[in-house]
Every structure is written in structure tokens, then in C-alpha cells.
Structure 1
Amino acid sequence: MELVEKKEKKNFDFVDTIRCISMIGIVFEHCAAGGTGLYRSSFFDTVVETSVIQSFKFSTIAFFLIGGFLINHKFQEYTAGQYLKNRFRSTIKPWLFWLLIYVALMVLDRYVAYLRGGDDVLATNFFGYVWDRFVFGIFYTSSWFVLNFLICICILLLFKRYLYSWGLGVSLALLSLIYSLNIYHQWFLSTHSTALFGFVFYLWLGVMLNRYFEVVMSSIRKTSWFVLISVVVLLFALAIAESFALVQMESKDAYNTLRITNVLYSFGMFALLLKIGALDFLQRNFEPRKTTFGIYLVHFVVVVRLLPLIFQPLKLDLEAYSVWQNTGIHILRFFIVYGVSFLMVRLIQKTRFKWIIGN
């Protein structure tokens, strides 16, 4: 019994480590200083910019893999109704709270503008503006992935009887591949909000990782550090090359998470993180199991409303700056957003309102 308990704890430590690193990467990605493709006139600057953006592009897929890993046993312990009831109670309420906070802050911003003689949208179309911001917050901000994640879970529950079927996995992989090819062919909009079924495969793959965890870990342990790191570096370079090619094609989605090379890079990074295992200093200082979801909920509001208050008065001309200056601004924005979000989550945890961060 003691050995089993130690083994389970080790698994959860590894989960928390990857969850923490993935959330850092997701926040970093959302703190980009400017739009993509600023440096098309310079090959070197484009490569540098692409490398910075690509570095953490594994985070979203890694998060879905971890999500699948965690829900495997829950699917077996609870009925579909029980699981969804518990999941929606702990997820939808806090998600909706921060979505409404975002809308309220946007309304406040327009009200201040109105008092200063700016646009009068609140006076002429108040409910229309509120609805527009609500829809925008759901589908065109990072909050979309909370709803997307729940939809992916519901899809797996619909096929719970075939959950461990490789046929189901192949079908879901083909769906994801369609989104990967669509980046080039534009059969439909390639924005993240349209990728409704593009991430179910990675959730399913996480379920299978849990089922065959010892087999997977045995293979990873046998793989040398040199080989694994070399593979990750190669996949990183291929992902950069694909983004660079898409930039040259003037693609509006050159850094899409579902690019085939990025999917492979994400798998490589995930394998590397599995080999690294649990990092105690992350557990002690960041408490990812308690803070990760809260940081995700809070950070998009901080990005949308706090960062403009800090940076707009500075009137930064990002297109005139060097790639190094913009990278520095990107990193500064990340530290502000992650630091403020983490601090807010820790403070909220000490109050009776901790339900708003999923605790």
C-alpha cells in the first residue's frame, strides 16, 4: 500500500510540474508585444521573432494532454452526469464570473471615454455593446479555451464506451489534421475559436497516456538525454521553418497551435518534460494544483485591461523598434501579467470568494 501511494503521488507531482510550466507558457504567449509578422523584411529578425513565439507553443497541447491524463480515472469513478455536474460547478461559475468582470471593465472604459467627450456607444446602443463584448470575450479571447475544453470532455463522454478504442483515436487525429491543413487552404476560418474539434484528439491521447503510462515512461527512460533533446531541437527548428514559410505566404495564422510541426514539437517537449519529472521548487513556490486554473481565468482580464493602462500612455512604436526591444517588452509584459495574476489568485484563496478561481 505504501508503494502504491508513493507511486500515485509521484504521478501527480509530474502532472503539476507540467501543468505549471504549460500555464507559464500560455501566459507568455498571450503577452506578445505586437502582432505577428512585424519583421518580414528581414530574414534574421523574422527567425528571432518566430523563435521567441515558438518557444512556448507546446503549452496548449501539453495542457490538453495533462487534462486527459487526469480525467481518465474520473470517467471510471463517476457516471457521465455526475462528472459533468462536478466539472461544470467547479469550472463554469468562476469562468462566467471573470467573463462578466471583463465585460464590466469594458463598459466602464467606454463610460469614461463618454464622460471625456469620446464615443457615445453606451448612450446609443448600450445592450448591443454589452452583448458584443460578451460574445467577443467568449469566442475571441483566451477564455474560449475553458469552454472548448469542456466541449472536448463532453465529446469524449459521448464516446465513453469506445474511450480506449484506437479507431476513435485515429478519427479524432484526422479531425485535428483537417485543422492543420486548413491553415494552408483556408477551407474555413482558422482562428482558434473555430477549432472546436481540433483539440479533442490531444485530450483522448492524455487518457491513453494514463492507461499506458508505465509503458510510455519505460521508453522515455531508455531514451538518452542527448537523443531526446536533439529531437526536440530538430522539431523546434522545423516548427520555426513552417511558421517562416507561412509568414512569407502572408498567412494570418502563421503561428497556429495546430500546425503539424508544432504538434510534433509539442509531443517532443511533453516527452522531455516527462523525462525531467517533478520539480520540487515549482511545487513549493507556485502550488500549481491550487493556482493554475485561477491564473488562467485572471490573466486574460489583466492582459486586456491592465496592460493597456500601463503601456498605452508610453506610446510605444513597436514597428519602429528592433526585434530585441520588442522581445524585451514581451518579457516585461509577461512578468507583469503573471506576477499580478499569481498574486491575485493567492490573495483570493485566503477569502471566502475563492470559488471565483475554481477552489
Structure 2
Amino acid sequence: MNAESIKVTKPKTKNFSFVDSIRCISMIGIIIEHCGVVSPNHYSRQFENIIESCIIQSFKFSTIAFFLIGGFLINHKFDEYTPFQYLKNRFKKTIGPWLFWIFILIMLGILDRFIAHSRGSAMGLVGSNFFLYLYETFTQLVLISPYWFILNFLICITVLLLFKKYLYNVWFGVALALFSLFYSLNIYEGWIATTHTTAIFGFIFYLWLGVYFNEYYDKVMGMIKAASWFIIITLALVSFCLAVGESTYLNSIGIKDAYNTLRLSNIIYSLIMFVLLLKVGSLNWLQRNLRPRETTFGIYLIHVIIIGRGLPLIFQPLELNFLEFNVWQNTGILLFRFLVVYSISFFLTKAIGKTKMKWMVGN
């Protein structure tokens, strides 16, 4: 047989470029949420509170979408590596940068106390019990600040690895969904505190759902492509209105955590928005300019420091009283804060990524 007549057919590589688009949009939404300047539902006019609810709700799909994309990306790696190998690689690329930026934030806090002390202020706990200060600050950053979700994500991955043999079992997914539903009901009943720290098992379902989506990618995408734009957009708008309505109701009955990500209406909204983003597909211009694959983790790590330590340097000297501003003024300030935070975090991440210290941003 003539060897030249033999054709080797390579398996067609699937294009998952939409992942970077969703990852980037989700990170933008997460940072916008963290750039708020006033506590929710503080305006005297109900109309302004509803406008604020709409602004908050717009990107409230971001966290769940991020877990869905995370699960989608790790599915094939569960097959390529043993659980121990995967966790070792994941912790190496994640925990190191995570601890480094927590350390930087703690050091900045200590420096701030010394500067304040040089101007006549008391040293506080830094001076009276330094090790207690370190413990309390570290605990707060790990459990209360946005850095908590890095640890939460790793815990979720670990749980899926422990139950790897049930990974594609629908009933396993149902069990995880019940955990999420518990937190949805808990917002109303108050069985446990509604802070994101207590929702340690609330996001595993979405990570699992991402894994399941990857496994049945062709079937799912086939259904999404077959669905009409009108139906998906209509469902997104209806679920958005329901989510705004639920948060408005929760505010009216005095629930403090009225914008909790695990509200049932927000879960529905997030899943539909995820489908809509899948329908949109890859946004090449966004990927080309914002480079989400290389910058997303670094942006998340750095933005916490920019918000906590950078923005006060801009706004404190201005002595602005945000509580006196209307919703439109505060929205403008929020967007300005976002542009500052995202831009600085993005360019710092890119700059660090070009050096030997690129491990600091997970590269």
C-alpha cells in the first residue's frame, strides 16, 4: 500500500474561546460590585433604591458564572491528573500568590498605623499586641474579604475530587443543588449567619454544573444554538426583574443581606445570563485587548488592595459625603472607581507577568 495514500485524520479541536470572554465579563462584574460607595437601600426615595437595585443586580450573575466557568475548565484535568497531583498543582499556582498579596495588605495596614502614630494617633492593637493584630487581620482577610472566595473555590474543587466517582451522577448534582437551596431559604429564615463565609458549600453545585456542562458540551451548545435570541433575552429580562423584586422585598422586611448571591431569583438570573453569554460566544476584541487568560487571577488579587488602600488616597482628601449624593451621582462615582481599580490592577498584572516575579499573579 502506498504510504502517501494514507491520510491521518486529527481529531477536531473544540473551540472554547468563549471561556475567556465570560471570565473577563465576570471579573468586571465582581470588581464593579466591590466598588460600591454606599450601603444598599439607604436612599429616602423608593425610586432611587430601585434604580440602585437594578445597578447592583446587573452584574450579580458574575460569581456564579465564574464558578461555572471554573468547573468547565477543570473537567478534563480531573481525567489527566490524580486528585493529589491536581490539588498540588492548583495549590502551587493559587495559594502562593494568594498568601503573598494577603501579606502585602497586612504590611500596608501596619505601615498605615505607624504613619498615623507619627502624626499623633495611637498605635492601637499593633502596638499593644502585635501577634494578636496579625492573627485578627489575617483571619479577617481570609474569611471576610473578597480573598475568601479563593479559598472557597479550592474547597469546592477538593470536595468534587473527593467524590470524583460520582462526578457525572445527576443525583450527586441534585444533592449539591440542595445545599445551594438551603442558603437561599436561609436568607429568609436566618438559621445561620448569611455572610458568604458560612456559604462554604453553597457554590459547589455551580462548579459541578460547569464540569457536567463540559462533559455534555455538544448537546448543551446544540440546544443553546437552537434556542431563539428572543426567548433567551426575554427570560434574562424577566429573571432580572424578579431578582430586583426579591431584593426590594428583602429590603422592605429588614433583611440585611438583601443582595445575597444565593437568592433563588439571582440563581435563576445567573444561569440564564450564563446561557445568554454562551449564545453570544467569543468576543475577540475583548480577549485581544484585556487578555483575560493571563490577567484575571492577578486582577482579582490586586484589586482588593487598590480598593482598600489606593482609593482612600484619592477620595479621603476630597471629603465627599456619599450619603448626601443622589443615586445618579453615586453611580457615576462607582463607575469612576471601577475604571481606576480595573485599570491599575490590569496594568500591574501585565507588568508583573513580564518579570521573573510572574508567579505573584499566578503565571
Question: TM class by shorter-chain length?
Answer: over 0.9
Residue 285 of structure 1: aligned partner? 289
Give distance in 1, aligned partners of 2:143 and 2:270: 24
Residue 170 of structure 2: aligned partner? 166
Residue 244 of structure 1: aligned partner? 248
**Mapping of residues 114-193 of structure 1, within 5 Å:** 114-121=117-124, 122-193=126-197
Q: CA deviation at 1:38?
A: 1.5
C-alpha deviations, 1:183-211, integer Å up to 9, x for none?
11111110111110000000000000001
Q: CA deviation at 1:128?
A: 1.4
Unaligned runs of 5+ in 2: 1-8
Unaligned runs of 5+ in 1: none
- Aligned positions, number: 354
**Mapping of residues 276-355 of structure 1, within 5 Å:** 276-355=280-359
Partner of residue 57 from structure 1, selected from 57, 60, 79 = 60
Partner of residue 71 from structure 1, selected from 74, 84, 96 = 74
Give distance in 2, aligned partners of 1:355 and 1:267: 33
Question: Considering only CA atoms, is the larger Rg found in Structure 1 or Structure 2?
Answer: 2
Partner of residue 265 from structure 1, selected from 263, 269, 280 = 269
* 1:94 has 2:97 as partner: yes
C-alpha deviations, 1:157-201, integer Å up to 9, x for none?
110011111111011000010111111111111011111000000
Counterpart contact for 1:22–1:63, Cα < 8 Å: yes
Give distance in 1, aligned partners of 2:86 and 2:56: 36
Q: CA deviation at 1:2?
A: 5.6
Partner of residue 204 from structure 1, selected from 186, 196, 208 = 208
**Mapping of residues 205-220 of structure 1, within 5 Å:** 205-220=209-224
Aligned residues: CA RMSD:
1.0
Q: TM-score when scaled to structure 1?
A: 0.97
Structure 1 residue identity aligned to 2:211? V
Give distance in 2, aligned partners of 1:42 and 1:193: 32
Give distance in 1, aligned partners of 2:53 and 2:18: 29
Q: Which has the higher helix share?
A: 1
Counterpart contact for 1:107–1:130, Cα < 8 Å: no
Q: CA deviation at 1:4?
A: 1.1
Identity rate, percent: 55
Q: TM-score when scaled to structure 2?
A: 0.96
Structure 2 residue identity aligned to 1:343? F
SS of equivalent to 1:4 = coil
C-alpha deviations, 1:17-40, integer Å up to 9, x for none?
10011011111111111111212x
SS of equivalent to 2:121 = coil
SS of equivalent to 1:118 = coil
Residue 110 of structure 1: aligned partner? 113
Give distance in 2, aligned partners of 1:116 and 1:246: 44
Give distance in 1, aligned partners of 2:327 and 2:11: 51
